[in-house]
Amino acid sequence: MSVSAVTPVGKFELEARDDAARAGLLHLAHGQVHTPAFMPVGTQGTVKAISPEELGALGAEMVLANAYHLYLRPGHELVRRLGGLHDFMGWHRPILTDSGGYQVFSLAKINKVTDEGVWFQSHIDGSRHFITPELVMEIEHALAADVIMAFDECPPGRAERQTAQRAVVRTHGWLERSVRRFDELSEGDGTQVLLPVLQGATFPDLRLESLRRAGELREWSGFGIGGLSVGEPKDLMYEVLADLSPELPQDGVRYLMGVGYPTDLLEAVRLGYDIFDCVAPTRNGRNGTAFTSAGPVNVKVAAWRDDGSQMEEGCGCWSCARYSRAYVRHLFVAGELLGLRVLSIHNLYFLTDLMRQARSAIQDGRFNRWVQEWLARYAGGEVGDH
């Protein structure tokens, strides 16, 4: 616990603004998070192929884990008995747990959704489960992450208005119940921060309604923006983010869930969002795609065969300090496990460093110029991935 008496857990300090873009500091039970920040995804209590030391060394300050996955396996009560998720996975800085809303609606076979909760079948073994907002609070309390998300209904990105509206209303009802259960479980100990998840698909007025309803409930340390980057056109996502941003309080953290390709991150930061997560850097890493400032590169490309230079010139990551393009290519061509680690670390460093650069540019009041220059070097080629 590295929190001083004067900065309560959950406080978001806004340090600098540059137009809508923000640089801030989020105070949590296991430390501070400098924003903008990208969170590596450790779905099952491990960021795939990477150790906690490596995460720390690449500059990650907070990782995400999934309540849904850990509830199913190994079970949240087991994690609690073993001292909570920090001890279990050996990561002693901040953790955020996703509530499982997105996972229940994307991975599991849904049997029935009611206002009471969701009957679903496990994607692992088909076992039947009934999940409620209260159960999600119990799971996340047992896991003991620093930031926990309320259970939400996450409709598809191109949902009809009626579906989106129903999700807003239902998500709000669930939020009221989450708050009650959270307060019972935490007994005001102040170690965990609960954030609501705003829904409303691509309808700006529904997004505002979701915000208004949540805002009336209590004061929050911030807001999660859910239900984006789930199949809707990018322009619509940016539009929603632009409309919502001025309505969000400045003194709360803004977590845009599931976004993590470089250009999306920069646009979201420009629009005033602070923290992000996505499997893109690790999944791309395992698939042999390296993030570089000139765009993504398939590491098996023939040009790398004999290339003794770094994956990215001047890159400060563990992988680039040790390995040439030729060696990384060899690892992937030969199907070697070390390649998965080397590229996952590189890609996570790339995004973490991108957010560090963004933060510095915001603090210096040169964010827009910096983004323009950065994008001019960067040659698209991205594909969708949550």
Question: Per the structure block, which two tokens stand in for 27?
Answer: 């105070």
- The CB-of-305 to a copy of itself minimum distance in angstroms stands at 7
Cis peptide leading into 74, omega within 30 of 0?
yes
133 in contact with a copy of itself (CB under 8 A) = no
In the complex, what is the shortest distance from the CB of residue 102 to a copy of itself, in angstroms, rounded to a whole number? 19
Position 295, amino acid: G
Q: Residue 305 carries which DSSP code?
A: T
- Determine which one of 264, 274, 277, 353 is catalytic: 277
How many residues lie near a copy of itself (CB under 8 A)? 36
Q: Is 121 a binder of a copy of itself (CB under 8 A)? A: no
CB–CB of 208/244 below 8 Å?
yes
Strands ordered across the beta sheet of 12-18: 12-18, 21-28, 31-35
What distance in Å separates the CA atoms of residue 221 and residue 12, rounded to the nearest whole number? 7
What the block records as the tokens of 43 is 């779905």
> Considering the rule CB under 8 A, would residue 340 count as an interface residue with a copy of itself?
yes
Q: Where in 89-118 is the site for a copy of itself (CB under 8 A)?
A: 89-90
**Candidates 221-229, 254-262, 319-327, 371-379; binding stretch for a copy of itself (CB under 8 A):** 319-327
**Catalytic annotation present for 251:** no
Tell whether residue 334 is a contact of a copy of itself (CB under 8 A).
yes
Query: Out of 98, 146, 152, 264, which one is annotated catalytic?
Result: 98
The yes or no reply on residue 337 touching a copy of itself (CB under 8 A) is yes
Site string for a copy of itself, 73-92 (x = CB under 8 A): xx---x--xxx----xxx--
**256 pairs with which residues across the strands?**
225, 276
List the one residue out of 201, 198, 277 whose CA is nearest residue 240: 201
Listed in sequence order, the DSSP H helices in 232-307 are 234-244, 262-270, 280-286
| Smallest separation, CB 3 to a copy of itself (Å) | 25
Taking the C-alpha atoms of residue 350 and residue 280, their distance in angstroms, rounded to an integer, is 12
Supply the minimum distance, in Å, between the C-beta of residue 91 and a copy of itself: 10
What three-state secondary structure class fits 297? strand
Q: Is 385 marked active-site?
A: no
List interacting residues with a copy of itself (CB under 8 A): 44-46, 48-52, 69, 73-74, 78, 81-83, 88-90, 305-306, 308, 322-324, 326-327, 329-331, 333-334, 336-338, 340-341
Please list the active-site residues: 98, 277
